[in-house]
């Protein structure tokens, strides 16, 4: 195991949610080529078998699902172009993002159904020729105590927006109380790393003029920061938001410069299981 915990180094994980079999490869290429050219890893939270009819918590069609008809669910392997693209770019690291991305699909308590959703999701990655991911992201960051416990049994890393007492297994409460007392954003339960993030700072709903500065502040304010975005927000309503794409590309340039200076290191989620990277 390589020790990379150099004194003062900040670590950044970039997480992009909602890639699925219906995602245009051109969209990912437009957004992330500047990162790939600079050898900066990008973590794609991939929906294993997207449901066309999935809706957000307000009942609206999700932005990552195009309008139109077709099979009710579409597994990753049904998009050979996307599969080839992901395999051709090893700095795109795959994370399991739910199963179908049904709204709050991991907020349930039925242990058998939870297990089936985890296993079906992992199977869809394997069918497409990928290894089963070691990191899990729940749709809308929503877990039940039972599903969170099951995720910790299956994955080395769980990435979420936040953790709250009522959604934790009771046996985790003492450790959670210690995390809160120490004001730590990240924590461990057994062998599993539990990561929180400072909100979706990369979003079309936030002011563009202050976005890059807020991202820089977040990335340098703690030892490890997860920055979350959603690819489809850059093409909201089918039109590219050039200013928003410009902020993302400026972030790539800044991260590369900070890496060159040894102040920041951009890592994939998998590095947490492979190296001695400090969490807090």
Residue 133 to residue 155: CA distance in whole angstroms: 8
190: left (phi over 0), alpha (psi -120 to 50) or beta: left
Residue 14 to residue 145: CA distance in whole angstroms: 26
Contact (Cβ atoms closer than 8 angstroms) between residue 267 and residue 13: yes
Contact (Cβ atoms closer than 8 angstroms) between residue 11 and residue 41: no
Rg (CA), the chain: 18
pLDDT digits (tens, 9 = 90+) for 144-166: 999 999 999 999 999 999 999 99
**For the chain, percent of residues with pLDDT exceeding 90:** 92
**Helical ranges in the chain per DSSP H:** 25-37, 80-88, 111-127, 145-154, 173-182, 208-221, 242-260, 271-274
Q: How many CB atoms lie within 10 A of CB 183?
A: 7
Residue 184 CB burial class (10 angstroms; 0-12, 13-18, ≥19): middle
10-274 CATH fold: TIM Barrel (3.20.20)
What is the residue-level pLDDT of the chain in tens, covering all 280 positions? 334 444 689 999 999 999 999 999 999 999 999 999 999 999 999 999 999 999 999 999 999 999 888 899 999 999 999 999 999 999 999 999 999 999 999 999 999 999 999 999 999 999 999 999 999 999 999 999 999 999 999 999 999 999 999 999 999 999 999 999 999 999 999 999 999 999 999 999 999 999 999 999 999 999 999 999 999 999 988 899 999 999 999 999 999 999 999 999 999 999 998 888 999 9
Closest CA to 94 of 131, 40, 143, 120: 131
Residue-wise DSSP of 59-81: SPBPTTS-SS---SEEEGGG-HH
pLDDT digits (tens, 9 = 90+) for 5-46: 446 899 999 999 999 999 999 999 999 999 999 999 999 999
């Amino acid at each position: 195991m390589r020790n990379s915990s150099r004194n003062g180094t900040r670590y950044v994980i970039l997480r992009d949610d909602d890639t699925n079999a219906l995602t245009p490869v051109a969209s990912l290429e437009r957004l992330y080529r500047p990162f790939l050219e600079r050898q900066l890893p990008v973590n794609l939270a991939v929906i294993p078998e997207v449901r066309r009819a999935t809706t957000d918590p307000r009942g609206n069609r999700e932005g990552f699902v195009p309008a139109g008809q077709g099979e009710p669910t579409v597994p990753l392997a049904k998009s050979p172009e996307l599969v080839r693209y992901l395999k051709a770019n090893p700095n795109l690291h795959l994370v399991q993002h739910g199963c179908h991305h049904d709204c709050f699909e991991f907020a349930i308590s039925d242990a058998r159904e939870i297990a089936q959703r985890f296993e079906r999701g992992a199977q869809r990655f394997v069918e497409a020729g990928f290894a089963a991911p070691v990191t899990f992201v729940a749709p809308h960051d929503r877990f039940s105590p039972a599903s969170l416990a099951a995720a910790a049994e299956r994955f080395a890393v769980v990435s979420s927006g936040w953790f709250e007492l009522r959604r934790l297994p009771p046996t985790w409460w003492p450790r959670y109380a210690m995390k809160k007392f120490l004001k730590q954003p990240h924590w461990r339960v057994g062998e599993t790393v539990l990561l929180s993030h400072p909100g979706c700072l990369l979003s079309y709903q936030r002011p563009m003029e202050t976005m890059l500065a807020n991202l820089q502040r977040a990335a340098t304010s703690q030892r490890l920061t997860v920055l979350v975005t959603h690819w489809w927000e850059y093409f909201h309503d089918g039109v590219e938001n050039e200013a928003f794409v410009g902020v993302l590309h400026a972030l790539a340039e800044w991260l590369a410069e900070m890496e060159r200076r040894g102040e920041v290191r951009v890592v994939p989620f998998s590095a947490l299981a492979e190296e001695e990277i400090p969490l807090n």
